[in-house]
Amino acid sequence: MRSFVSSARLAGALSLVVWLTACASAPELDHSVTATLPQRQLLEDVPFHPQRDYQCGPATLAMVLNHAGVDVGVDQLIPEIYVPSRKGSFQPEMLAASRRHGRIPFTLAPRFASLLEEVDAGRAVVVLQNLSLPAFPLWHFAVVNGYDLDSEEVLLRTGVTRQDATDFGRFDATWQRSERWAFVALTPGELPVTISPDVAIQATSDFERVQGPEQSLPAWQALVDRFPEEAMGHFALANAYHATGQPQAAIDAWRSAVARDPSLAPAWLNLGLTLASQGDDEEAREALRRAASLDGPWQQSAREALNEQQGGHR
């Protein structure tokens, strides 16, 4: 029994060592990505704000927002994201504050290549690291503003260090503890190098909720350009056109949406309602009929709108 316990202990200790060593190894880099990138990239023009006290969140956010053309200081950001009793800032509030300053926060796919691609495209990336071990966490926000594939180093503006270089292995060990959380804050109309349409659409919609359709219009246009086959992108663009007083552009975009996905009931509904308001009753009824024929949360509204339309013509 005793030998069983001690061998179990030994196995436990060994697996811990194996696990720790696994963490320290350099991240697997996608060679199809790195082959297309320059060996070294450094964004010198990212301003530096050294953190004061525990306020790496506001300092980090100020650096990326400034770099994205927003005139905002650390002092203004402290009341927007700092949480006094936790002596720190939460990830969602970093994203929320970016929206308040007119930039769309896109959370990047948790892969090392995302950082390199964004830096190569000229964007500073916010990362969350746990510099310590999971048992005694030391959570820290920093800005990745460069990389060097030869020396295998990530270049950062971090803490009170203006230009830091951390080797890939150590950086990834600390970054993977946040599940490789990273985001860029982009001007509406820009998109990350690699992003899924669903993530981009949700991020833009979340921005629109805060900043409204006029600010979001360029973002929806960029989204439709990048993902022309995505019906939801056309739908959202149409809604933004409609909300900014451009019904004809909206009608065209809803038509593009239903051409891509004829089962997108809310697009038929909005198309029908807007055609009706433009006096195009025949086409309006046709669109509303399509909406009313599709199961889902918009069916009821479509039936009511159709009734109103047909009622008005009796």
Q: Are strands 139-148 and 125-130 parallel, antiparallel or unpaired?
A: antiparallel
**Residue 221 neighbours by CB under 8 Å, 6+ apart:** 189, 237
> What is the C-alpha separation between 238 and 224, in angstroms, rounded?
11
Tell me the C-alpha distance between 278 and 256, whole Å. Answer: 18
Which CB sits closer to another protein, 120 or 152? 152
Q: Which is nearer to another protein, 46 or 236 (CB)?
A: 236
Cβ at position 95, least distance to another protein in Å: 7
Residue 58 vs 146, nearer CB to another protein: 58
Nearest to 204 by CA among 297, 98, 128: 98
Q: How far is the CB of 157 from another protein (least distance, A)?
A: 14
Furthest-apart CA atoms within the chain: distance in Å: 91
**Is the CB of 117 or the CB of 184 nearer to another protein?**
184
Q: How far is the CB of 114 from another protein (least distance, A)?
A: 19
Q: Is 126 left (phi over 0), alpha (psi -120 to 50) or beta?
A: beta
Q: What is the 3-state secondary structure (H, E, C) of 43-67?
A: CCCCCCCCCCCCCHHHHHHHHHHHH
Least Å distance, CB 19 to another protein, is 10
Give which of 281, 270, 280, 283 is closest to 308, Cα–Cα: 281
CB-nearer residue toward another protein: 66 or 216: 216
The number of C-alpha atoms within 13 Å of 78 and in the hemisphere containing its C-beta is 11
Closest C-alpha among 264, 122, 116 to residue 186: 122
Given the complex with another protein, which of 26 and 37 has the nearer CB atom?
A: 26
Is the CB of residue 256 less than 8 Å from the CB of residue 243?
Answer: no
Nearer to another protein, 45 or 304 (CB): 304
